[in-house]
A and B are shown apart, each in its own frame.
Chain A
Amino acid sequence: MISWRAIAVATLFTAAPALLAGEIPPDARRSGYTFMGPDTRAMQDDDTTNPGMLFVLDGEALWAKKTGSASRACADCHGDARSSMKGVAARYPSFDKSLGRPVALDQRINLCRADHQQAAPLPYESRDLLALSAFVAHQSRGIPITAGDDPQAKPFVAQGRALFMQREGQLNLACTNCHDDNFDKRLAGAPITQGQPTGYPLYRLEWQTLGSLARRLRSCMTGVRAQAYDYGSPELVALELYLMSRARGLAMETPAVRP
């Protein structure tokens, strides 16, 4: 009898960490904003001190500017972004039927440039691409994230989740080891967040510029001494998609400010 109880207790204790680890329940999901100090929060909250708004302004100008051999502006098809782009970024990365895979917002902008404007693609992390992405995503500010709800995207969400759970690099760490299991603690001086991608592209004070979620993921991979995936690689898009689906229900903040 006693031995049975001991086994039961032992089973419970070995099973408990496995139950505690893993996904964050919806009501416990928190934006990176809640991990920041009051000064950085104030910087994000006021549109005249948020440096990300400079990119949004540039993006607004690009939206209306005719470009490519088709000599068309984004506005010529999409009209006023305030209505046509509202809520769009909250659904990205989104499944593209013709490509048969999900595409991120910056990739969608480049596809649009190629297909409808006959313009050269903008390089990843270039000022113009970030500005356009920020302008489009800004129209979704305050709207809850719903990316990954599309049934066709589910296999890619699963792929992203597998990558999130997979240990990598010389430090042999998976994303989940910090961002599911140890958020609210500190890594040296910096708070460990849940890694919810609510405000991309966002202004990172460390970068002194706006950057995409792909750039943030790549710098985390370099941090664990892993070889980072290339910009635009399917693995990065799958990770972005999983992260967005993991942040389901949180409000968009673009352009966010982060330390």
Chain B
Amino acid sequence: MTLRRLLMAATLAVLPGLTPGPGQAQGTIRIGMTAADIPLTHGQPDQGFEGNRFTGIPLFDALTAWDLSRGDRPTPLVANLATSWEVDAADKTRWIFRLRPGVKFHDGSDFNADAVVWNVRKVLDREAPQFDPRQVGLTATRMPALRRAEKVDDLTVALITSEPDSFLPINLTNLFMASPAQWERLRAAAPSAEAAWNAFAAAPSGTGAFRLTRLVPRERAEYARNEAYWGEKAKAEKIVLLPIPEANARTAALLSGQVDWIEAPAPDSVPQLKARGMVIQQNLQPHFWPWQPCFAGESPLKDVRVRRALNLAIDRDGLKQLLGGFMEPSVGTVGPGHPWWGNPDFRIRTDKAEAKRLLAEAGYGPGKPLNLKVQISPSGSGQMQPLPMNEFLQQDLKTIGVNVEFDVVDWNTLFTNWRQGCAAPSARGAHAINVSISTMDPFFALVRFYDSKMAAPVSNNWGLFNDPRFDAMIREARNTFEPAARDAALAKLHAAGVEEALFIWIAHDVSPRAMSPRVKGFVQPQSWFVDLRLPSIQ
């Protein structure tokens, strides 16, 4: 045998061992997340909605939930650990929630009204032994009106709000129920409540469809199907979550068979992924990517004609092409067909002639070009691809004589500035800010931007918008408790916002993810979340 043949034989002998291959137990789905760490597993995840998606909903349940079983409609709110609820007719700040009987936590303890009260106190009652300041920031912000909980009987609980607020059942999708019994057991061996919560994060107990079986911080989390789950059980036996923050590394991991599913593949890798037989999933997200105008000082965006002109000038189809199809043109905070759409008279479209006319009417033209400064970030969660997208807009608006200058700051800084408002020094004279926005909840989609009480630094009314008509519409929506009538009130508010062009609406994300053809049964709903009970792997 020649030396060359010997080497070839040796190489061939070693090759099978080199190949990573599937090599996983049947029914194990391995998911490459965009997060750099496993989101917190103590019941109130960090890492934004990716945390809720992967360590919130699968391990824990909330009183209410989103129906994530279909992709052809906006996700409706459904009963979950609560089977029904209503506001007290005599006192609109008191809600009664009836709880699902027979539900048990992963540790075998019962889910009941005491558990609900305990979980509310963990974030709202500073005197409670289980109070955890870390979870306050992650939870209380998403339930701004909730104040306390009272047990009525074992399966009934009263939730008290600071003011009448019809949004409460929606807010409650963010309050996950952790097991008091498991926490108490861990607390007995821990020196402090904080240490007990850290121990709980390592051995969490919720009522979710999956149980955590292994956690290696920053590297992996492994789930097993909860065979005692109260609802429809998961099809997959195991889920493995891997944080892979770099988009190319995620793509390579999928293509090399190390994972079965990746979140947010690199857009330019999509043709290669498709060529290798991978399935690309996408759907309209409750998210929009806008320029939020400043209504204070000398901002030219105080003029509704200018705001309307900008909304009409943008070539959203061109932008979609730039993103390889991974966006939907935005014509409002929510789109036609959504219960909050409201059919506004002002139709957002591309009409550059009308945009020029409106600008001329507002006093801008070749002799006096409109100069805008926009604060943007080079990256960030939910920000899509802010640099190429903003550069596209800059070129596009130049065609109608608008000069756009960018103030680029990093994502953390943009967050901070967003809270401080456009009149603060941190805005550095910007006329608009580019922060993407979640629209699952009416408070976060509409109220915090249109309510004068939410003006920065109280909340995210960065532009300091103040119009009593909008304040009145918000009061009406919050005080309308019948769901269809509440949606109608929100639709009126949304339509008024579009007519006043309170944002420059640009794009909705479609949350692309890529997966192996071996993954079956996956449904991509119109949501930030997915139902991990549905997919399985062949």
B and A form one assembly: no
The interface of chain A, by Cβ under 8 A from chain B, is: none
